[in-house]
Amino acid sequence: EAQVTQNPRYLITVTGKKLTVTCSQNMNHEYMSWYRQDPGLGLRQIYYSMNVEVTDKGDVPEGYKVSRKEKRNFPLILESPSPNQTSLYFCASSSIATDTQYFGPGTRLTVL
């Protein structure tokens, strides 16, 4: 089954404790992206990647890091999480041939 997976689905952590949210897709998509979704603000892009070793900032990159060492994986790293990073996070992927993005199930992060 073609899908985008994220782990963990739910995470409660404390300020300053480094964490990684994993994202993996099995569709051989070149493009992958991370979004956060907050009430009243909609989906905002954090980082994106056009292919392996090619990443760039989206609209709200502060406090986040990403890497793309393999085509299928695109982890999101929070080196020192803060309460304002409490949000619902989505990973998405798409083929370069089309621009239709498919979303993972989401990760609900709470930073205390």
Partner 1 sequence: QKEVEQNSGPLSVPEGAIASLNCTYSDRGSQSFFWYRQYSGKSPELIMFIYSNGDKEDGRFTAQLNKASQYVSLLIRDSQPSDSATYLCAVNMRTGFQKLVFGTGTRLLVSP
C-beta closer to partner 1: residue 48 or 74: 48
Q: Residue numbers of the site for partner 1 (CB under 8 A)? A: 31, 33, 35, 40-45, 48, 50, 58, 88, 90, 94, 96, 99-106, 108
C-beta closer to partner 1: residue 48 or 79: 48
Tell me how far CA of residue 53 lies from CA of 1, 21, 106, in angstroms: 26, 18, 24
Shortest approach of partner 1 to residue 107 CB, angstroms?
10
Contact predicate 46/35, CB 8 Å: yes
Contact predicate 34/48, CB 8 Å: yes
Shortest approach of partner 1 to residue 97 CB, angstroms?
11
Shortest approach of partner 1 to residue 85 CB, angstroms?
18
C-beta closer to partner 1: residue 31 or 74: 31
CA distance 112 to 101: 31
Sign of CA dihedral 23, 25, 28, 33: negative
